[in-house]
Structure 1
Amino acid sequence: MLRASSVKQFAIFMIRKFNNVHTCSIDYRRNAHRHTTSSVIAKQIIGKLDNLYGSYDPTAIARDMEREFGVKISYHQARRGKVVALYMLHGRPAFGASIWGYLHYMRPIFCVDGSHLKGPYKSTLLLATAQDVIKQIYPLAWGIVDAEMNRSWMWFLSNLKDLIGDSDELVFVSDRKNSIENVIAHLFPWAHHGCCVWHMEKNLIQRYNNISSIFLFKRAARTYRTEEFERLMGQFHRVSATTYRYLEQAGLPFWSRALFVGQWYNILTNNNEESLNSMLRHARLLPITCLVEHIRHTMQKWFYERRASATACSTVLSPTMENELRTTFEAGTRL
């Protein structure tokens, strides 16, 4: 037995008690043995799990550990060891990594949208995405439902809320579907909800198709300053009072960066969702199980590649953002 403690104000420790006579018999080894951790068990059984057609249940694992090493472990210890061994063999699924990465590294803003599955499988794929540090699409959550209805979005966003919670820093970006707006208001009372500027622009084109109005809307939606926004909206009212009333009824803070309550950053549109929908245009013809497997495979590939890139990064920020910051700084010195 060895007992030691640290010495205050020094980076050393002092041995307080030491007994170098070992008297414990092998019979004393039992399931409370502190060194029989799940990782130790996993390393001992990993060779027996590398067979997709065999069955190796926790009871057999506990029996083998006692026979080979004289250590008794519980059923739950054996099960945890098996889980760790399977992770060592096949890796962890990317879905959990996606949520973990969002909670630790992402800005609290993401887009939500739905897309219809094609072919004979008439369902809807619901998506929630964020954006990583080099402005790449960061898939956060997926769900397949019958259709885009209140109860479908309630189920999807309820599960999402269990993982990310609610706060006044959280921002949603979506199109103007009433089902999304109703559920966000109910589940995330502290969060802020903004409209995809591209969808608003498309609605204006379909309803009014006034080139001058579209131009003024794009400038007004993206400006940062309240004074500039009010000046542009004054011009907008003179060009088309009807279109102005339509935007006013939609809610000016709903689509204006200058008036929006919360941090919208650079994510003013649902382009991330549209890009994912485009990427999945062929996979959406597949049966649902095949579609889910395709999504899983794609996500794990992305996460592996991005982890390798991040490991090789030697700068404080990503190289892309370092270059962008340097360019912005150089431009700012001349202001």
Structure 2
Amino acid sequence: MKANQRHATSKLISGYIIDNLRDPKFEVTLAFVMAEMQKLHGLDIGYHKTWCAVQCASALIRGTPEENYELLSSYLYMMRSKNPGTYTNIKIDENNRFLYMFYAYGSSISGWNHCRPVIAIDATFLKSKFRGVLMISVSKDTNNQIFPLAFGIAESENKNSYECHQSIAYAIAKVYPESHHGICIYHLEQNLKRRKVKSEVIKLFQSAARVYRRKEFNLYMSDIAKVDKKTYDYLMEEPPKRWARSCSPRRRYDMLTTKIVESMNSVLLEARELPILRMMDFIQVKLQRWFYERRNEVEGTFYDVSCWLEEELKKKIDLAFTSNLSRRETSRSPTFDRTGT
């Protein structure tokens, strides 16, 4: 391709990236394609043309978006066959049209036994031809890292496909009646900001949500009521047991927000623009790489606990030693009355 060929079509560009797309270990993002075309051919191509080129190349490899959905059941069958312990489920309507699906890899299912018993759930919109939403549930492993548990794809966010926001409580009560449903305090804080709540009140809310003792929680909430009764009433519309650490009937394990699942959404940001099978390939490669790297890291250490926990314990020990030393120095220091004697 000549450098002065500024009107290269998306179909032509797709021919230059198709080999990269065929490699499941290679992540072909829109940013990568634009950078490569500039670097190798001196072409500045726009976002839309790049997206069309990737779609065109993907269609040659995986088929069109329509063909992707036709192959979905077969893809899930092969996923179960090649990944022992993997669970998949797909729902179609009476006209054989896709409604929603769910899958969890066997490695995620078995790894859940070693995670904190808290699950964060979120959904993000897909940008491929048929839109819909990608649903993600994650936890944290013993090394304090994001641990993907399950994924779902649905036509839209509704009670039948994804129990979102208010409907999450309905789903939890239906499937896991003994579990506790907590609220992300980050999103609750964003609601306060949208209501133009003063920063000093928001800081009081943050403290109230994070303290460990109920007595301290009551003091902070009392301060909020004195400064802004309207905000106090708004916060109390949701039972504090759902957002305040000190009021929770279960341990929150320091997971008071859904930021970990939002971080996962960021990892999959550009994958959301791919056809469904290509997106699932992207997710699989990403998880395989994470699990492989984490296993190698663990096998290369000699700790009885995870690397992260070992470092945390060292910090706590150092802090305790420093605190004890400070107390000893304070107790040994001379005391004086007001006269200096």
SS of alignment partner, residue 246 of structure 2: coil
8 Å CA contact 2:125–2:133 kept in 1: the answer is: yes
Query: 2:181 matched to which residue of 1?
Result: 193
Output the CA distance in 2 between the equivalents of 1:193 and 1:259. 13
Query: 1:152 matched to which residue of 2?
Result: 161
**Counterpart selection for 2:315 from 297, 303, 327:** 327
Query: What residue ranges of structure 1 are gaps of 5+ in the alignment?
Result: 1-82, 155-175
TM (norm. structure 1) is 0.64
Q: Deviations over 1:132-172 (max 9, x none)?
A: 11211000000101112111136xxxxxxxxxxxxxxxxxx
Output the CA distance in 2 between the equivalents of 1:313 and 1:98. 22
8 Å CA contact 1:196–1:255 kept in 2: the answer is: yes
Shift of 1:119: 4.0
How many corresponding residue pairs? 227
8 Å CA contact 2:208–2:220 kept in 1: the answer is: yes
Query: 2:219 matched to which residue of 1?
Result: 231
Query: 2:246 matched to which residue of 1?
Result: 258
Query: 1:243 matched to which residue of 2?
Result: 231
Output the CA distance in 2 between the equivalents of 1:204 and 1:119. 33
1:124 aligned to 2:108? Answer: no
Output the CA distance in 2 between the equivalents of 1:118 and 1:238. 46
**Counterpart selection for 1:295 from 283, 286, 309:** 283
Output the CA distance in 1 between the equivalents of 2:241 and 2:117. 19
Amino acid across the alignment from 1:96: G
Query: What residue ranges of structure 2 are gaps of 5+ in the alignment?
Result: 1-77, 87-103, 325-341
With CA pairs under 8 Å and 6+ residues apart, which has the higher RCO, 1 or 2?
A: 2
Shift of 1:91: 9.3
Shift of 1:273: 1.1
Amino acid across the alignment from 1:320: W
Q: Which moved more, 1:228-237 or 1:311-320?
A: 311-320
8 Å CA contact 1:148–1:179 kept in 2: the answer is: no
8 Å CA contact 1:198–1:269 kept in 2: the answer is: yes
SS of alignment partner, residue 127 of structure 1: strand
Output the CA distance in 1 between the equivalents of 2:248 and 2:169. 16
1:309 aligned to 2:297? Answer: yes
Query: 1:96 matched to which residue of 2?
Result: 106
SS of alignment partner, residue 119 of structure 2: strand
Amino acid across the alignment from 2:144: K
8 Å CA contact 1:212–1:239 kept in 2: the answer is: no
Query: 1:10 matched to which residue of 2?
Result: none
Shift of 1:122: 1.3
SS of alignment partner, residue 112 of structure 2: helix
Output the CA distance in 1 between the equivalents of 2:257 and 2:206. 12
Shift of 1:187: 1.4
